[in-house]
Each structure stands twice: as structure tokens, then as C-alpha cells.
Amino acid sequence: MRVVALHDLTTSQVARWQALYDRFGTTVQQSPAYARAVSEAGGRVVVAVGSEAIAPFTDDTTRCTALGGDLPLLSADEPGATGLVSVVTAVRRTTGRSVYLPLVDRAYAEVAGHGEFASWGRPPNSVIDWNCQGRDLWDRVRVHGTSQVDRKRRLVERDGLALDFGRFGAEAARDVVTVDDRSWKAARGQSMHQRGNQWELYGRLVRVGVLSATFLRDGARPVAFRLDGRVGDRVTCLKWSYDESYRRYSPGLYLLTEGLTQQWRDQGVRVIDLFGGPDSLKNLLHTHRVPRVDVWCGDSVLGGELARDRLALDHRVARVRDDGKGLRHAF
């Protein structure tokens, strides 16, 4: 197992990474294109390269953090301790940093107790089984919701707000940030512009087409967006947001019901990944949830501080969800 900077990978190593991704990838975060976007947005990316697995990480001088999402190792193998230990140990040895793998499949929790490894539970990922192609989605929303869900749908359609599917490029990226800067996230310091290099990253991913943006528009004005990454038969909805002045329409609900159904019905999709733990909206939509953990390897003091911070956030989110409030109230 070798650990090298992204820009030092050979042409053959990048080609092998792409081939592994094309064959076994499940999310865009595992791809060379995503790693390049992170690097171009200002992140320092290192890549663990082995004969059977490839795994990218960011190195921020305090720790290395896995980029690959719930399955941080791109390989043919099922998730588990054996492969992860060798990869993470190599990253720790080469960089001298502690290593953090956030929100990964629970199978990786088996590494806890191996040397400097630890893990802690995180909220499960929310997923929609799309084998019915969304034809069951509204019925499920009605069962879990109230009469308001149909009223909101009628309100959107009565007032002529329209869906605009699968956009990418510079104009789409500008529309995404326009909406995000008018969202509740901006008021709570959680917009992409306010969270490190998030806007640089997601803007690049939309401009080059790694992610597509689907909008809800009022005439030409974008009032809500959803960012999707498709890999094989899986679509991951990485982000969505809406202009706060259109809150009465519940634009996120429309984008994740009518928007998903119109865009991805009969397109060969089998899974819609909502990319996040339970909240009031995902509770209406999901068919099942996938347990997740964080994995840490390295300085136990730093790891303990990080675990307390992440678990405190999870507690706040769970509290506002149980109180029937939106995610904004956790920040």
C-alpha cells in the first residue's frame, strides 16, 4: 500500500482508479473527478493506492479525512475491518496524521480495538428503494405526513412553479449559489459560502457535470435546487436548499417527491440515496435506513474531542426532529 499526493499519481494509477470506479463505484465521492474537484477547491488530497483498493483522503495538517462516503475504500471487497486497517495504517504512517472516516458503513466498526482505532455510532443514512420507480412515493408520504403535503403540492402547481431537470455548467452553478445564499442556512451560518471551501467544491462539481442540479423555478427565478450524482443504478441527492422567501411552498418536499419521480422514473435507477440521517423530510420519504459509524485512528485526545462534538450535533438534530421542528433549529 502506497500513499501519494493526488498530483503525483501516475497516468496508469489514475486509469486503474477510474476502472475500479467504473466497475465497483457507488457514489461520486469515490471517483477521481471528485478528488480533483476537492483539490482544485483548495484541499490537499492524498491517495492510498494498493493492489486491491484505492482510497482518497484530505490532509488538513491536523488529520486526514476520508473522501469516499459510506464506503471509503474503492474495491471489489465487502466492507470490513481487514482492508480498512491496512489502508488507514498506511495513511497514518506516511502522513503522521490521525485519520478520520466519517459516516461510514457500520461494518467498519469492527476495526475498533485494533491498535489506535476507535469508532462511535452516528445517525443512519436514509434511502429510498426505487424498484417501484417512485410510483409508491406519494402514498408513503401521505401515510407519514398530514393533509398539508397535498396542499403544498397543489400550491406549487397552482402558482406555476416549474421543475427544471438535470442542469450543469456555469449558469447552473450560479443559480445554485443564488438559492443557497437566500436560504435559512445563510442566516444560520451554514450556507456553502460560509462553510470552508464547500462552494468552491460544489460549484466545480456542477460546472463540470459530475453533479447535476434540478431546480424549482418561479418563471426564470431559481427558488430551490437539488444536487444529484448518479453512479450506475444509484442516485445520491447530495444537497438541496430553497430560497427562504418561498418557504410557504415547502420546495424541498416538491423537489424530493414530484421532482424525483418525474426525473428518475423509468431511467434504470434502483436506489435513491438521501445522503443523511433522519429529519422531518426524510422521515416522509425513506423506505429503509443504513446504520453508520465514524472511525478514528490516532491521537485519542483529538479523537475524543471530535467524537463529543459529532455526538453533540447528532443529539441537537435528534431533539429538534423529535420536537417536530426543522433542521435549522439545531444550529
Q: Is the pLDDT of residue 189 over 90?
A: no
What would the mean pLDDT of 9-18 be, rounded to a whole number?
Answer: 95
What would the mean pLDDT of 202-224 be, rounded to a whole number?
Answer: 97
For the chain, the domains span 2-123+291-330, 132-269
What would the mean pLDDT of 220-229 be, rounded to a whole number?
Answer: 97
Give yes or no for a contact between 41 and 6, defined as CB atoms under 8 angstroms apart.
no
Reported as a pLDDT band with limits 50, 70 and 90, residue 330 is: low
- 173-178: long-range pairs with CB below 8 Å, 24+: 173/203, 173/206, 173/207, 173/213, 175/213, 175/215, 175/222, 175/225, 176/202, 176/203, 176/206, 176/213, 176/222, 176/225, 176/227, 177/203, 178/222
Q: What pLDDT, in 10s, does the model give residues 247-306?
A: 999 999 999 999 999 999 999 999 999 998 888 899 999 999 999 999 999 999 999 999
Superfamily of the domain at 2-123+291-330: Gcn5-related N-acetyltransferase (GNAT) (3.40.630.30)
- Most confident of the ranges 50-64, 189-203, 315-329: 50-64
Indicate the pTM of the whole model.
0.93
Q: What is the domain class of 132-269 according to CATH? A: alpha beta
- Whether 2-123+291-330 shares its CATH topology with 132-269 is answered yes
- Most confident of the ranges 14-28, 73-87, 136-150: 14-28
The answer to which of 228-232, 264-268, 294-298, 324-328 has the lowest mean pLDDT is 324-328
What would the mean pLDDT of 119-129 be, rounded to a whole number?
Answer: 96
Q: Is the pLDDT of residue 329 over 70?
A: no
Three-class SS state of 119: strand
